[in-house]
Amino acid sequence: MARTPKRVAADLGDHAPRRLIIECKPAQVAAMAMAPAAAVPRDLAAIVKEAGATLDTGFAPVLLPAVAGQDPMEPGFDTSTRFDVSAAPGDATMLLVADGDAAAAEALAKRPEVVQVFADLPIEPCLICPGSPPLGNAADVANLLCTRVMQERGLNGLGVLLAIVDTGINKNHLASLGITPAMDVGRSWTPAAGMTPFDAPVGHGTMCAFDALIGAPRATLLDIQLLRSGAGAFTAFLSDAVRAFDHLRRIMEAPRRPGETRSLVVNNSWGMFHPSWDFPPGDPRNYSDNPNHPFNRAVAALEAAGADILFAAGNCGSDCPDGRCQGVTNRTIYGANGHPSVLTVAGVDTTKKRVGYSSKGPGRLSVNKPDIAGYTHFAGSGVYAADGGTSAACPVVAGVVAAARTKKPFLPGNPSASPHAMRELIRSTAEDLGAAGFDHDTGYGVVNGCAVADRVVPQIIVPPIDICRRFPDLCRRPVPIDFCRRYPQLCNPVPGPVPGPIPGPIPGPVPAPIPGPIPGPRPLPGLGDAEAGEASLEQILAAMWQMGYEDARRDAAAAPAPQRRAGGCACGGGD
């Protein structure tokens, strides 16, 4: 697979990031068969040391599949087809992490074994403006999401994996709120030994899990404790995110049992907050504007494996920016948060008004960002005074995606079940806000659970079959079976999903009785074999009634008995 040629950047001096991701092409990559490497090969360790950098020996090398590196900002970019991923082991590269200055990065980039050197940036949760009281609660959000209708249609997340990539989930806190979701410990991930899935300190990740379960209460949670990777509270680096996404991709690519579906929804309520954290746009080591950065390619690889990926837009909105934004409020949807292969989620409150801290588009990697808005700043998990920020909006939408996947599971090779198709479903069913159509405040509008349910499981109302009007003989003649009492569905409206409308024309009068003895199994009266195969339901019902009527008439002739009239459906009746 073709790759973007390596370029050597100019020395950026003391302002260059000190932590680096080194992408290498060692000879032994193909032999590793895409299995996680336990240690850095000695020859690569020596190259890093010779360049004046210090290898991070605590970072296990990651093999990254080859991803075609096109620019999503090019005219005509097609998000459904442009990111081609190769699963061939020989196409993979190895990622290492080291600390080094700009001179070390320059020296490493010149080595033939090195494909490129990139910024390894700190990432943090998208927290909220402090001191702002909540507006509404989780029950209000559930009503706005139309969860009752979704669950009536079977859209509840059952059988869907819902990964919360965050600070970790505390199951005891959820249980204290009466929430006991399915949890998959075996497929969860922690960055270091000694950490236990679903036993993290109560914090941002627990809030995100609570908010996702509003729309998908029966989804199976995966606890991906990315933001426990750093030495500080709730921090990590992009290299840690590459490891976490590599783990999720392997879940999607693992062998399946015959008939097994595997849908994975990945929530990410975190990102970078200021350009000073990064190399400048145009530098090949840059993350924010560079689709070839290893983490941006890891996102494309996971989406190509079938995962639905959602990212918070960020909290650098011009009305109430997070302090970490340092006053920068223009084009603040950086890197993967605005990747064309993800749903980028803005925030609105429970009155459907955009919250002031929600970052506005366009995105750095895709112009039409954000895609959608989710509800935020409401009283919910109890972790904070308000479940807020685009941190809360993102899992609210992730829950709706997981609910939709209950009835529309991912199927490899089926374009209508692809992540791209799911993004189109969420965007096309959104409730438009503000100016008609897409805008850079709330994308295509706020997520609309009712519209999603109608699209995934259409509700068809079956009209009543008025037996007495359509077939007056059923109400004028002695009837052996009281149809309306025995089969009330024939006389009353029956709302609910059905395979489709009743085909065929409205039938005429009931066929005349068939004289003579009637044997056992026999054709329907008045309908030949070919006609019976194409008959409407009402025609078949009428013919079946005629058969029963004739049987009862002959029985009555053999042993006379009191005759009864029809009743029970307000048909009336005459002689």
pLDDT digits (tens, 9 = 90+) for 395-421: 999 999 999 999 999 999 899 999 999
Residue 204 known to be catalytic:
yes
Q: Is the pLDDT of residue 233 over 70?
A: no
**So where are the chain's domains?**
18-119, 138-456
Q: What is the mean pLDDT of residues 475-492?
A: 54
Residue 341 known to be catalytic:
no
Catalytic residue among 166, 223, 278, 441: 166
Poorest-confidence range of 53-67, 254-268, 294-308, 520-534? Answer: 520-534
Q: What is the mean pLDDT of residues 493-515?
A: 44
**Which residues have a Cβ under 8 Å from the Cβ of 51 and sit 6 or more positions away?**
100, 104, 107, 108, 111
Q: Is the pLDDT of residue 137 over 60?
A: yes
* Reported confidence tier of residue 516, pLDDT bands at 50, 70, 90: very low
* Reported confidence tier of residue 510, pLDDT bands at 50, 70, 90: very low
* Reported confidence tier of residue 242, pLDDT bands at 50, 70, 90: very high
Q: Is the pLDDT of residue 477 over 70?
A: no
The confidence score (pLDDT) of residue 550 equals 65
* Reported confidence tier of residue 66, pLDDT bands at 50, 70, 90: confident
**Which residues have a Cβ under 8 Å from the Cβ of 292 and sit 6 or more positions away?**
4, 69, 116, 284
* Reported confidence tier of residue 221, pLDDT bands at 50, 70, 90: very high
In the chain, the amino acid numbered 433 is: L
Instruction: Give the bridge partners for 220, in sequence order.
Output: 161, 182
Q: What is the mean pLDDT of residues 506-528?
A: 45
Q: Give percent of the chain above pLDDT 90.
A: 52
Poorest-confidence range of 260-264, 338-342, 472-476? Answer: 472-476
Q: Give percent of the chain above pLDDT 70.
A: 69
Q: Find out whether 397 and 267 touch, Cβ atoms under 8 Å.
A: no
Q: What is the mean pLDDT of residues 220-235?
A: 82
- DSSP reduced 3-state for 446: strand
Q: What is the CATH number of domain 138-456?
A: 3.40.50.200
Catalytic residue among 263, 269, 358, 391: 391
Poorest-confidence range of 4-13, 32-41, 158-167, 482-491? Answer: 4-13
* Reported confidence tier of residue 158, pLDDT bands at 50, 70, 90: very high
Q: Find out whether 18 and 276 touch, Cβ atoms under 8 Å.
A: no
Catalytic residue among 204, 247, 377, 420: 204
Q: Is the pLDDT of residue 228 over 80?
A: yes
Residue 358 known to be catalytic:
no
Burial bucket for residue 505 (CB in 10 Å: 0-12, 13-18, 19+): exposed
* Reported confidence tier of residue 15, pLDDT bands at 50, 70, 90: very low
